């Protein structure tokens, strides 16, 4: 609108000058002075106002078409910072989860180890093959049970006849003895070279057999074995009459 007013004023001045020339009019200097006078009379205060308003309109148009890029950048920076914080939190949470999984894996491995430690059992007979008597001896002799049926945990040593407790716990042991009469059939369970229980039978003829068992609390490294009593005699064949067995009932802390 302001620009239109300016154009109209200029046209009015132009028409006036032409009219003056037609009428015998003004010289060049007078025309210039007339234009300046008209422009000074009509336009000076409006020109500055129009320029200011044009600048304002331009700024408003710019603001409308191009939003504040700095505000957008600040908003984007804030968003990126927030996302970085979220990523850090997720990373920390993942690290915690990894640590929890690692701890669970360690616990599972410990449980597996405990279960392996609890898997302790053995059973063995006196001879691997053939038949015959063992004894009598003048003193106690450790019986070596060589025909091993079961040895879970490998705690029984078939070369010495000795069971060694791998862990502290409560254990069950049993022995059976058999002989042909006339004979005394007798063997004892020993813990760390100390007598615990005896299986005993005596017959003047025919067959003699006996058995016994005991529950023992053993520390890791304690040993248990079976000894034939002095002057006793036992007989073994493919029927495996003479046996030594044991197993862990439960571990102790």
Longest Cα–Cα distance of the chain, Å, equals 176
**What is the band of 26 on the pLDDT scale with cuts at 50, 70, 90?**
very low
Other beta carbons within 10 Å of 177: 32
The pLDDT value recorded for residue 75 is 80
Q: What is the pTM of this model?
A: 0.59
pLDDT score, position 55 = 60
Lowest mean pLDDT among 21-30, 49-58, 152-161, 242-251: 21-30
Q: Which residue carries 């059939």 as its tokens?
A: 185
pLDDT of residue 74: 77
pLDDT for 35 beyond 50:
no
What pLDDT, on the 0 to 100 scale, is given for residue 31? 46
Proportion of the chain above pLDDT 90, given as a percent: 49
Residue 46 has pLDDT above 80, yes or no: no
Note whether 118 and 203 are within 8 A (CB).
no
Report pLDDT digits (tens) over 109-153. Answer: 777 766 666 799 999 999 999 999 999 999 999 999 999 999 999
List C-alpha distances in Å: 244 to 123, 126, 147, 196: 6, 8, 10, 14
Q: What is the pLDDT of residues 172-210, one digit of tens each?
A: 999 999 998 788 999 999 999 999 999 999 988 788 999
Q: What whole-number percentage of the chain has pLDDT above 70?
A: 71
User: What pLDDT score was predicted for residue 118?
Assistant: 77
Q: How much is the average pLDDT of 155-182?
A: 96
User: CA 96 to CA 91: how far, in whole Å?
Assistant: 9
Check pLDDT > 90 for residue 218.
Answer: yes
List the beta strands (DSSP E) in the chain.
Answer: 121-125, 132-134, 141-142, 147-152, 156-157, 162-164, 169-180, 183-191, 194-203, 207-218, 223-228, 234-236, 243-251
Instruction: Indicate the pairing of strand 183-191 with strand 194-203.
Output: antiparallel
The predicted pLDDT at position 25 comes to: 47
Measured N-to-C along each axis, helices 44-65 and 28-42 cross at an angle, to the nearest 10 degrees, of 60
Q: Answer with the residue of higher pLDDT: 12 or 164.
A: 164
């Amino acid at each position: 609108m302001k620009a239109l007013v300016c154009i109209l004023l200029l046209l009015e001045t132009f028409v006036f000058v032409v009219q003056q020339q037609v009428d015998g009019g003004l010289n060049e200097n007078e025309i210039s002075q007339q234009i300046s006078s008209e422009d000074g009379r009509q336009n000076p205060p409006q020109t500055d106002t129009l320029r200011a308003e044009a600048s304002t309109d331009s700024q408003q148009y710019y603001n409308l078409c191009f939003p504040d890029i700095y505000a957008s950048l600040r908003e984007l920076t804030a968003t990126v910072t927030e996302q970085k914080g979220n990523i850090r939190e997720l990373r920390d949470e993942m690290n915690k989860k990894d640590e929890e999984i690692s701890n669970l894996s360690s616990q599972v491995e410990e449980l597996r180890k405990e279960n392996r430690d609890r898997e302790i059992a053995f059973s063995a007979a006196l001879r691997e093959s053939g038949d015959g008597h063992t004894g009598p001896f003048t003193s106690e002799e450790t019986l070596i049970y060589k025909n091993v049926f079961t040895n879970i945990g490998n705690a029984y040593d078939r070369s010495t006849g000795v069971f060694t407790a791998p862990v502290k716990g409560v254990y069950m042991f049993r022995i059976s003895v058999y002989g042909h009469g006339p004979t005394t059939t007798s063997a004892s369970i020993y813990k760390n070279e100390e007598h615990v229980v005896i299986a005993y039978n005596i017959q003047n003829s025919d067959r003699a057999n006996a058995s016994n068992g005991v529950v023992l609390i053993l520390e890791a490294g304690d040993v248990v074995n079976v000894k034939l009593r002095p002057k006793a005699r036992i007989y073994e064949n493919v029927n495996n009459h003479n046996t030594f067995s044991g197993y862990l009932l439960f571990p102790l802390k």
